[in-house]
Amino acid sequence: MPIDPDTLAARLRAATNREVALEVLKTSSTIVQRLPGDRGSVRVRVHEIFFDAPEPVLDALVAWARRPTRRSNAALDDYAIRRADALRACARTTPARARGRHVDLRRIFDSLNVEHFDGRLRCVVTFGRVAPRRRLRSLQYGAYDPLHDRIRIHPVLDLDWIAPEFVELIVFHEMLHAAIPARRDDATCRHHPPEFRARERRFPRYAAARAWEKRNLRRLLREAGAAPAPPRVATESIAPPRQLSLRFPG
């Protein structure tokens, strides 16, 4: 039986012991979000797919609002995967921009697809938005969103001094995410299972791309952090399950 917003707000209030302003998300690709409100209150934003969720999922949502744990995160992720069609139907995705100033991601994707995946992958591939201006200590070069089968590449990789084999490796890495789903053992999610790493290392220009990255990491971090910043709000949120990508360090 669907839960109404007042009932859910009351449960959240009881669980968090705070005043709760509940907001319903309809077109967002975010499923849950918790923001600080006025005078110690908390704003909890919840996607509408939760209003007809089964009781165990609602329990996980309430537990998450009190304190996010690996267990509650996993329960919410699992539910989002089960409701992927509903999420996909109402999410607004920004239009893809595969052709940058110097790099054509679609061309790279298409040739890697033929060369390594028998042409089977059907992902959307796009440059992400320009990153906020701040000193970066790590950089996420790319991400794969399984919900929308969409690969997003950091716009810093569109600069003219980036080695082609490096962009190719990043696109290849995200394509492997599309081809090899993350594996869940108990509460831990393995985004890069052993067969993933093995296939990645077989990329023909792997060593050259990694060596180039090592030589150019400082410059990459500097230039990725140099774009004008949109305003930032302190938030704590879980997007729909999204596989992590290459990061530095590790």
Residues of this chain that interact with Zn ion (CB under 5 A) are 245
Of 170 and 238, the one with the shorter C-beta distance to Zn ion is 170
| Residue 171 three-state SS | helix
Of 29 and 245, the one with the shorter C-beta distance to Zn ion is 245
Strands (E), 16-168: 20-25, 32-36, 42-47, 124-127, 142-145, 150-153
| Residue 23 three-state SS | strand
Decide if 182 contacts 191 (C-beta within 8 A): yes
Nearby residues of 22 by Cβ (< 8 Å), 6 or more positions away: 5, 8, 9, 12, 44, 45, 46
To Zn ion, the closest distance from the beta carbon of 200 in angstroms equals 9
| Residue 106 three-state SS | helix
Nearby residues of 182 by Cβ (< 8 Å), 6 or more positions away: 189, 190, 191, 193, 241, 243
Which residue's CB atom is positioned nearest to Zn ion? 245
Of 50 and 196, the one with the shorter C-beta distance to Zn ion is 196
* Backbone angle region of 57, left / alpha / beta, with phi > 0 → left and psi within -120 to 50 → alpha: alpha
Instruction: Work out whether strand 124-127 and strand 150-153 pair parallel, antiparallel, or are unpaired.
Output: parallel
Of 126 and 245, the one with the shorter C-beta distance to Zn ion is 245
d(CA 197, CA 179): 13
Of 49 and 170, the one with the shorter C-beta distance to Zn ion is 170
Per-residue tokens: 180: 């090899």
To Zn ion, the closest distance from the beta carbon of 163 in angstroms equals 20
To Zn ion, the closest distance from the beta carbon of 65 in angstroms equals 29
Of 28 and 245, the one with the shorter C-beta distance to Zn ion is 245
In this structure, the number of other CB atoms found within 10 A of the CB of residue 106 comes to: 14
Of 53 and 153, the one with the shorter C-beta distance to Zn ion is 153
To Zn ion, the closest distance from the beta carbon of 174 in angstroms equals 7
To Zn ion, the closest distance from the beta carbon of 246 in angstroms equals 6
To Zn ion, the closest distance from the beta carbon of 141 in angstroms equals 9
To Zn ion, the closest distance from the beta carbon of 192 in angstroms equals 6
